[in-house]
């Protein structure tokens, strides 16, 4: 993904460059970078930042959360790590560390953990604080076999002080083959449209893997709602990558 991300940044080095591009070009450049919906949101975000923030990403959590594709975690991570704002992004590891530290019952309540994290983050060096908590949860306060004996919070931790602490194991479920999922099918459809000549309509009237007409039709409907494809007005299961980047109800 590192090389793909470098190529994407070479193609769109600034927010303004990304905003000026057609969505089809962005989706083609996004190949290899994960869920295509993220490319749509990133394109929408760039256009909104240009139109409402002068092409510069806002610093505050509140303003960041109003941008497409940015939720509470990402807004706080950007604010803390990129801008040094006093913000506390809470991922799975941070939630586990703070939940155990305070003795909260599992599953750890998200709103309470977030409020606790917001109150604890220091005004100085919030970026380092964020990385430290995440690393502590990933390497020491693990979900299973935590290393309490080397944890710097051991003396203050309610969970470590519990004599009979046990880590509950999740029941294993039979894995679902990815190729049988609608997510796999949507990804293959976007790949076919991405590989087509610019603005070419692509017929999707043949099975894709094990997916037949009904599944392809449902996948196209979902992709259209997400702004990832443009469907032919007259021909069934014929589509192309969108150009404008507009999404139903996206900005209005």
pTM exceeds 0.85 for this model? no
Domain-located, residue 92: yes
Pair (155, 62) in one structural domain? yes
Residue 85 in domain: yes
Q: How many separate domains does the chain show?
A: 2
CB 159 within 8 A of CB 103: yes
Asked if residue 17 is part of any domain, the answer here is no
Q: Same domain, yes or no, for 156 and 191?
A: no
In a domain, 41, yes or no: no
Question: Does 193 lie in the same domain as 147?
Answer: no
120 belongs to a structural domain: yes
Query: Containing domain of residue 234, as a range?
Result: 181-240
Q: For 171-225, what is each residue's pLDDT tens digit?
A: 566 565 778 899 999 999 999 999 888 778 999 989 999 999 999 999 999 999 9
Q: pLDDT tens digits for 82-96?
A: 999 999 999 999 999
* Percent of the chain's residues with pLDDT above 70: 91
User: How many other CB atoms are there within 10 angstroms of residue 48's CB atom?
Assistant: 17
CATH code (residue 69): 1.10.1670.10
Q: Residue 29 domain-assigned?
A: no
| Residue partners of 157: CB distance under 8 A and separation at least 6 | 100, 101, 148, 151
- Summarize pLDDT for 68-80 with one digit per residue, the tens: 999 999 999 999 9
Whether residue 185 is found in the same domain as residue 155: no
pLDDT range class, residue 107, cuts 50, 70, 90: confident
> Which domain-ending residue is among 130, 160, 190?
160
**131 and 63 in a common domain:** yes
Residues ≥6 apart with Cβ < 8 Å to 32: 1, 4
């Amino acid at each position: 993904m590192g090389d793909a991300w470098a190529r994407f940044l070479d193609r769109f080095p600034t927010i303004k460059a990304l905003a000026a591009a057609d969505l089809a070009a962005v989706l083609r450049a996004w190949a290899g970078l994960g869920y295509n919906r993220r490319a749509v949101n990133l394109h929408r975000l760039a256009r909104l930042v240009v139109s409402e923030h002068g092409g510069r990403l806002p610093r505050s959590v509140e303003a960041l959360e109003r941008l497409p594709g940015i939720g509470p975690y990402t807004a706080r991570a950007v604010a803390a790590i990129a801008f040094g704002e006093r913000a506390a992004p809470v991922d799975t590891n941070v939630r586990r560390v703070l939940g155990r530290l305070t003795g909260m019952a599992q599953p750890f309540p998200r709103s309470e953990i977030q409020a606790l994290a917001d109150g604890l983050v220091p005004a100085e060096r919030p970026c380092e604080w964020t990385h430290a908590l995440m690393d502590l949860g990933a390497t020491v306060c693990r979900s299973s076999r935590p290393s309490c004996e080397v944890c710097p919070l051991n003396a203050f931790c309610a969970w470590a002080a519990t004599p009979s602490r046990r880590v509950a194991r999740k029941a294993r479920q039979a894995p679902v083959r990815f190729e049988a999922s609608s997510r796999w099918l949507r990804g293959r459809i976007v790949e076919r449209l991405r590989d087509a000549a610019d603005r070419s309509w692509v017929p999707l009237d043949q099975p894709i893997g094990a997916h037949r007409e009904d599944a392809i039709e449902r996948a196209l409907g979902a992709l259209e709602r997400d702004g990832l494809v443009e469907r032919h007005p007259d021909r069934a299961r014929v589509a192309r990558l969108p150009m404008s980047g507009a999404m139903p109800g996206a900005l209005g």
